[in-house]
């Protein structure tokens, strides 16, 4: 089962200049706050999809749920 | 109705209604906390919206998600575009973006209890307002 740290590293490796804060101790439910300049100019839905795509096939399966907040660096 | 007809009907509903919410239950009787919160936000903004209950036929959700490429319910569409689910709608409500998007009068984000919600004869607010 992935740890919050695993999830954080995968998000940061996949998205340009992203920083992620991830919580979730049970290995299947996570909460992530992701900041990346790559989100600029995109709708929230598009931003969320960019993060969800990192875990395509795992969400709803081995990862039950991820509550997501996306931000662009201020 | 075949899956294809169903998908066309969903697509048409999204095109034909400026604001449409696909939810579990109805605005009067939401069947899920996420749907209830989303309805509460729309009511707080005092905008009218169409709604579709996805529960009566599991294929509605299946075809909707295939169409929108979004896995969860509720799903709010404005002018044909997916705005998001409960979390995104709440976040955009609190930032004031949602009011701009749906053309609502700037409602005070701190008052999702919808102060001007209709008060029933028995003096009770609608359930979705209490949950909001």
How large is the average pLDDT for residues B9-28?
96
Looking at this predicted complex, what is its ipTM?
Answer: 0.77
Q: Where are the domains of chain B?
A: 3-102
How large is the average pLDDT for residues B22-29?
97
Beta strands B75-78 and B81-84, pairing class: antiparallel
Q: What percent of chain B shows pLDDT beyond 70?
A: 79
Q: What is the pLDDT of residue B131?
A: 35
A66/A9: higher pLDDT: A9
**Contact flag B81-A43 (C-beta cutoff 8 Å):** yes
How distant is the Cα of A64 from the closest Cα of chain B, in angstroms?
12
Q: Which of B83, B94, A74, A6 lies closest to A20 in space, CA to CA? A: A6
Q: What is the pLDDT of residue A59?
A: 82
pLDDT tens-digit map of B78-91: 999 999 999 999 99
CATH of the domain spanning B3-102, picked from 3.40.190.10, 3.40.47.10, 3.40.30.10, 3.90.1150.10 = 3.40.30.10
The strands making up B81-84's β-sheet, listed across from edge to edge, are B50-53, B19-23, B75-78, B81-84
Nearest residue, CB atoms, B88 vs list A45, A59, A60: A45
Residue B24: which pLDDT band, with cuts at 50, 70 and 90?
A: very high
How distant is the Cα of A57 from the closest Cα of chain B, in angstroms?
12
**Contact flag A44-B92 (C-beta cutoff 8 Å):** yes
Quick one: CA dihedral B34, B40, B42, B44, positive or negative? negative
pLDDT tens-digit map of B120-129: 333 332 333 3
Q: What is the pLDDT of residue A57?
A: 82
How large is the average pLDDT for residues B38-55?
96
Residue B21: which pLDDT band, with cuts at 50, 70 and 90?
A: very high
Nearest residue, CB atoms, A68 vs list B69, B70, B87: B87
Residues of A at the B interface, defined by Cβ within 8 angstroms: 43-45, 48-49, 59-60, 67-69
Q: What is the pLDDT of residue B105?
A: 66
B83/B118: higher pLDDT: B83
Beta strands B19-23 and B50-53, pairing class: parallel
Bridge partners of B77, per DSSP, are: B20, B82
């Amino acid at each position: 089962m992935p740890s919050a740290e695993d999830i954080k590293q995968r998000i940061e490796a996949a998205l340009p200049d992203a920083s992620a804060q991830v919580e979730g101790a049970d290995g299947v439910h996570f909460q992530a706050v992701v900041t990346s300049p790559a989100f600029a100019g995109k709708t929230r839905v598009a931003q969320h999809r960019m993060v969800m795509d990192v875990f395509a096939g795992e969400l709803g399966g081995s990862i039950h749920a991820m509550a997501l907040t996306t931000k662009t660096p201020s | 109705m075949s899956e294809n007809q169903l998908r066309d009907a969903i697509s048409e509903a999204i095109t034909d209604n400026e604001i449409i919410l696909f939810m579990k239950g109805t605005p009067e009787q939401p069947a899920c906390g996420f749907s209830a919160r989303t309805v509460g936000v729309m009511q707080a903004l005092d905008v009218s919206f169409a709604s579709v209950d996805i529960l009566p036929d599991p294929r509605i959700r299946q075809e909707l998600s295939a169409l929108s490429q979004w896995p969860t319910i509720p799903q709010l569409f404005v002018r044909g575009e997916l705005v998001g689910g409960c979390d995104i709608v709440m976040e955009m409500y609190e930032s004031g973006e949602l009011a701009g998007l749906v053309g609502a009068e700037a409602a005070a984000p701190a008052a999702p209890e919808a102060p001007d919600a209709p008060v029933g004869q028995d003096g009770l607010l609608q359930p979705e307002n209490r949950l909001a």
